[in-house]
Structure 1
Amino acid sequence: MAADLTTVVPGQAHLSGPGHRHPRPAAGSFVSRDESAFARACDPRVFDWLEHVKAAAGCSHPIRLSGEVATIDRATGQLLASTATAELPDGEIYKPCGNRRHAVCPSCARTYQRDAYQLVRAGLAGGKGIPATVAGHPAVFVTLTAPSFGPVHTQRTDRTGRQIPCRPRRHPEPCPHGVDLSCHHQHTDDDPTLGTPLCLDCYDHHGQVVWNHYAPELWRRTTIALTRHVHARVRVRALGLPWVSQVTASGKVRRVPPVKLSFGKIAEMQRRGVVHYHAVIRLDGTHPTDPTTIVPPPDGLDVDDLVAAVTHAAATVRFTTRPHPIHPTGWQITWGDQVDTRAINADGDITDGKIAGYLAKYATKSTEATGHVSHRLTNDTIDLYANHQGTHPERLIDACWTLSSHHDWHQLRRWAHMLGFGGHFLTKSRRYSVTFRILRDARIIWRRTETGHEYAHQPEQTTLIIGLLTYTASGWRTTGDALLANTAAAMARERHQIAREEIAAAA
């Protein structure tokens, strides 16, 4: 997928959503895409330039750096090689922006999505440094949703899976504002009314942004409740599982439970503008000498114990927020009624590959589902997106800004562009799987080896690569550069896809 060529050149502001306006370029300063592309294509060093920008070719707004890259001997500190960016095409290094949001940069989001797939799947099937024995550990796939803050347009099905009307009622049900709260339509996937309240004035926009803001804390408390419930089942069922004595790095002996839970989760933004969590929960054992080693759980605990722990935690974990002048008693934060827990197994319908693909798909999405996309908001831009009498997303943003006027709730203003949610969209416990950094470092080493860089053949343990670089700008120099780079990247992706299909067919 090519980048959005109207937003990749420095100086062209990228704002989306209500009130969005593109600035008009100064007279005499505009160079058409065709002209700039033709000029770059006629450059005798065009192929050197395409090879130089290959790593960032598909990026919508790459980061451009200038300076020097040095290779140092780790043992002696001797300078082995040095390359100045002035000697390179354009005198700069192009680096992908790394943005995970598909609406911002499709290319970098695709890379993030593939890394997320590998990260999640390694925690279920092993690989990437995770032992293959984790495939035999009891594991469940859990979906935790938010409570209702008012009726919204939705898609509904009956017990046979046949789609039925959204909110059918034999007799009109007017709300206090005179709006009919019934809907006899069968909404399609692309229906813009999906997720919007039937009555905007009745909907609890303040309560929803507060729930979004406290969702990470609710998840933290839920993981604690899950762990405690599993440990309680070990003691109550008298499984004969003594606690393990571990020796810490300082030589002290501590007693720990014989089992431990590992988590990996994705936060998905629903169309109504509230997050819900998809999580993988795996049951591990405890190693007596090395807390970082992943071992199978002891006999006597299975998937049913995990399901019981999730059911208990989702129904009991709740807390009340700090008071606010708008809500002096605080808001109660709890999970919604829709909790889905399914066992993960290699032979059934819920496999590790399907779960990893499902979670990775949502890792690159954000508030786009609600129709709102923006960067962090300021006093200068808030009026473009917030309106207490406007659309559903505009009212949610206005609720964040209004509540943040109180000093105890100032963080809501920082996350107004995320409708109050300030957590990470993909998180995991320490022992669940590998990290994004390990996957990225492996990709960097592979690229250096593939391209035959002058320091690629140096042993990784003996050399140190130091970039003495400074930030120059973000985005392509011209839309013509963006066109050529994205076209080359698209052709490379097509060739790789054909190669993968040929290899699969030959096997």
Structure 2
Amino acid sequence: MSTPLTLHRPSVASGRNAQALYRAATPEFSGWLEHTAAAGGCSRPIRLTGAIASVEMTTGRITGQLRTDELPDQALYKACGNRRESQCRDCAWVYAGEAYQVVRCGLTGGKGVPDSVARHPVVFATFTAPSFGAVHHRHVARHTCRSRPHCDCRPAPCRARGAAGTCQHGQPAACFARHDTDDPQLGQPLCLDCYDHEHQVVWNHFSGELWRRTKQAVERHLAALCRRRGMPFVQVVTGSGKVRRVPPVRVSHGKVAEMQRRAAVHFHVLLRLDGVDPDPNALVPPPAGITVDDLEAAVHAAARQIVVTTPPHPDRPHGWVVAWGEQVDVRRINAADGELTDGKVAAYLAKYATKATESTGRSFTRLTPATIDDYADPEGDHLARLIDACWHLGRPTGTACGATTAGDRQGSLDTESNAYARLRRWAHMLGFGGHFLTKARRYSVTFGLLRDTRATYRREENDEPLDTITVGTLTYSGSGWLTEGDALLLNTAASQRRESRRIGREELAHEAWLTEAAA
């Protein structure tokens, strides 16, 4: 007589394979898998406990109620929603998809944006930081590779020209190496003592203000061009009821910040030329007298013209000069060469919207007085010196120096009198405290609209009444999956779903190409 097989719950030390086997063998496995599907690929989901109810919006009647102690694991799982790929691959994948739609709709229309925007002049500009010192770099004069991220072209010598010999600190002033794409020396200064780390973190910190003034300069340049060409200004009514005469063109933008290997931020920006209509909600094309050539010239002129002088600092009474570097690249979208299409640009920006400081080789969490000594070192490597510069320049100044307690010192960092105080808050981002994806209000749709649309679609797909809302009285009970085996099962299932969707999109694109070719 055979003995029936009995499964015993594995201990934490049993390993994730044993834990996954036990979970998959339980009778409620299918229900558990369906219940956790919404957060299945999340690395560290949020666990909530309590009750949720469906309520009719018109009458307030409760049509259904569910308590989390009736659910698998007695908890409701919610994805963390972290946009960083290094922190949560699945949530970053969702965010990148939403970012792609936000950027693409501003180029082609759709989801409430008129299709006519596809005929508006658009340029794709890249604004880089200036040099703060010589760094190791990889330069390929002419690419013959198929993929730039996996470039295998033979590069030129790193720094074979220029100053020979050594710098004032005794370090070589030239580098004759031909660096590979994964060479850890890329982005590192040739001499750490010659490199201006303080200027770089200040540039990162004020780069958002530099961009704001640059866009204003682009619009001023176009407005002056309209005056010279005799184009009539448009009368619009402001929100306060006043009538203003404004230029007949405006610029809408979508912008992504990217951290270079040397830990300096640069911006990839889509600038679209729009017209102005008395109806504030209308999105119209620009007048025929302003072309993409004018937009391109305006961007170059603004990049050369705009310079920001930062407020005084005890270490620099006259402040620092913040300006763009010499490499300002402006290219056209959907040109005859076909190199830059709206789809490629949208995918490019969406990819970098999920990045942070990973390109520098390290990723940090927010730093505090208790942890700063583990990362900042004025005599350390490149990143350690940048973090130390942030912490040193962001120290309390003026009246803040008289603070007696740690709480007083921390409170003084948030005062408006110290323009550099937030450098400490953003020391883990090497001084940059802006959003990695921003856009003008008129450029495209919002993330909130995309998420609301997706939620409505799911409710319709599940035949849920649209006149009801879900009300939850939930409390936080923890984060992360209960076992490593659960994480293994759910992350594998989520990876399969992602791959299935990718193959489906490719098949649809192939069918559309065949239909177009047959026509």
Which residue of structure 1 lines up, in the alignment, with residue 290 of structure 2? 301
1:470-489 to 2 correspondences below 5 Å: 470-489=475-494
Which residue of structure 1 lines up, in the alignment, with residue 325 of structure 2? 336
1:256-405 to 2 correspondences below 5 Å: 256-288=246-278, 290-345=279-334, 347=336, 348-405=338-395
**What is the CA distance between 1:335 and its match in structure 2?**
0.7
Measured in 2, the distance between the counterparts of 1:118 and 1:100 equals 15
Question: Please, what TM-score do these two structures have when normalized by structure 1?
Answer: 0.89
SS at match of 1:284: strand
**Do the aligned residues in 2 keep the contact of 1:324 with 1:406 (CA within 8 Å)?**
no
Measured in 2, the distance between the counterparts of 1:502 and 1:160 equals 30
Kindly report the root-mean-square deviation, in angstroms, between the aligned alpha carbons of the 2 structures.
1.9
Change beyond 3 A, Cα 1:235–1:169: closer
Give the letter for the 1:410 counterpart: A
**Do the aligned residues in 1 keep the contact of 2:226 with 2:247 (CA within 8 Å)?**
no
**Do the aligned residues in 2 keep the contact of 1:60 with 1:107 (CA within 8 Å)?**
yes
**Do the aligned residues in 2 keep the contact of 1:65 with 1:470 (CA within 8 Å)?**
yes
**What is the CA distance between 1:163 and its match in structure 2?**
2.3
Measured in 1, the distance between the counterparts of 2:241 and 2:162 equals 72
Which residue of structure 2 lines up, in the alignment, with residue 9 of structure 1? none
Measured in 2, the distance between the counterparts of 1:314 and 1:346 equals 23
**What is the CA distance between 1:412 and its match in structure 2?**
0.5
**Do the aligned residues in 2 keep the contact of 1:371 with 1:393 (CA within 8 Å)?**
no
Measured in 2, the distance between the counterparts of 1:310 and 1:505 equals 37
Q: Deviations over 1:301-336 (max 9, x none)?
A: 001111111111101111211122222221011111
1:447-462 to 2 correspondences below 5 Å: 447-450=458-461, 452=462, 456-459=463-466, 462=467
Unpaired runs of at least 5, structure 2: 1-10, 145-153, 398-417, 513-519
**What is the CA distance between 1:173 and its match in structure 2?**
2.6
Which residue of structure 2 lines up, in the alignment, with residue 23 of structure 1? none
Unpaired runs of at least 5, structure 1: 1-27
**What is the CA distance between 1:486 and its match in structure 2?**
0.7
**What is the CA distance between 1:464 and its match in structure 2?**
2.1
SS at match of 2:200: helix
**What is the CA distance between 1:391 and its match in structure 2?**
1.4
Measured in 1, the distance between the counterparts of 2:334 and 2:377 equals 48
Measured in 2, the distance between the counterparts of 1:334 and 1:496 equals 43
Change beyond 3 A, Cα 1:292–1:346: farther
Q: 1:197 aligns with which of 189, 202, 206?
A: 189
Q: Deviations over 1:40-92 (max 9, x none)?
A: 22221111111111011111111111222222222222222222222111111
Q: Deviations over 1:436-489 (max 9, x none)?
A: 111122222333444x2xxx4212xx2222222222211111111101111111
Q: 1:490 aligns with which of 495, 503, 506?
A: 495
Q: Deviations over 1:255-307 (max 9, x none)?
A: 3221111011000000000100000001101111x212211111100011111
**Do the aligned residues in 2 keep the contact of 1:211 with 1:333 (CA within 8 Å)?**
yes
Identity of aligned residues (%): 56
Measured in 1, the distance between the counterparts of 2:300 and 2:306 equals 10
Moved more, 264-273 or 490-499: 490-499
Which residue of structure 1 lines up, in the alignment, with residue 452 of structure 2? 441
SS at match of 2:491: helix
Measured in 1, the distance between the counterparts of 2:214 and 2:70 equals 55
Measured in 2, the distance between the counterparts of 1:333 and 1:504 equals 45
**Do the aligned residues in 1 keep the contact of 2:459 with 2:465 (CA within 8 Å)?**
no
Measured in 2, the distance between the counterparts of 1:267 and 1:506 equals 35
* Residues 1:175 and 2:167 are matched in the alignment: yes
Measured in 1, the distance between the counterparts of 2:204 and 2:487 equals 37
Measured in 2, the distance between the counterparts of 1:249 and 1:337 equals 40
Which residue of structure 1 lines up, in the alignment, with residue 200 of structure 2? 208
Which residue of structure 1 lines up, in the alignment, with residue 436 of structure 2? 425
Moved more, 158-167 or 88-97: 158-167
**What is the CA distance between 1:366 and its match in structure 2?**
0.8
Which residue of structure 2 lines up, in the alignment, with residue 184 of structure 1? 176
SS at match of 1:164: coil
* Residues 1:66 and 2:49 are matched in the alignment: yes
Which residue of structure 1 lines up, in the alignment, with residue 469 of structure 2? 464
Measured in 1, the distance between the counterparts of 2:48 and 2:136 equals 47
Which one scores higher on RCO, CA 8 angstroms, separation ≥ 6?
A: 1
Alignment length, in residue pairs?
471
Which residue of structure 1 lines up, in the alignment, with residue 108 of structure 2? 125
Question: Please, what TM-score do these two structures have when normalized by structure 2?
Answer: 0.87
Which residue of structure 1 lines up, in the alignment, with residue 61 of structure 2? 78
Which residue of structure 2 lines up, in the alignment, with residue 15 of structure 1? none
**Do the aligned residues in 2 keep the contact of 1:36 with 1:479 (CA within 8 Å)?**
yes
SS at match of 1:216: helix
Which residue of structure 2 lines up, in the alignment, with residue 90 of structure 1? 73
**What is the CA distance between 1:251 and its match in structure 2?**
4.9
Runs of 4 or more above 4 Å deviation: 28-31, 159-162, 248-252, 501-507
**Do the aligned residues in 1 keep the contact of 2:12 with 2:483 (CA within 8 Å)?**
no
